Structure 1
Amino acid sequence: MDWPTAAVVIVIAVCISLLIIAALAVVVGGKAAKGLKEFDKPTTRHTF
């Protein structure tokens, strides 16, 4: 494999991995936000 092809493959791989990381961050952030909303309810706030 020559250098230009290798460079293109590397760039594509980096872009895909960044997209996967971003998707995971969104999912984890959404779960954390839901957890904070549950925690903020008056019923759970008294127990903690």
Structure 2
Amino acid sequence: MTAYLDRSAAQFKKTVGSLAWGSFAWFAAEPDHLVELIDGSSGPLCKLKP
């Protein structure tokens, strides 16, 4: 788990690309939510189209 102040914070933008799949990010600005980084290439998410 990695904790950040806000999604728009420079530290998050700088490090988001190096976070591991399957890890979590928490934002103090959104204390009731937890973000899980999921690689959808091998599961049902790969069927979703934007």
TM-score tier, shorter chain, comes to: under 0.3
Report the TM-score, using the length of structure 1 for normalisation.
Answer: 0.22
Q: Which has the higher helix share?
A: 1
**Structure ranking higher on relative contact order (CA contacts 8 Å, 6+ apart):** 2
TM-score norm. by structure 2 comes to 0.22
Q: Which has the larger radius of gyration?
A: 1
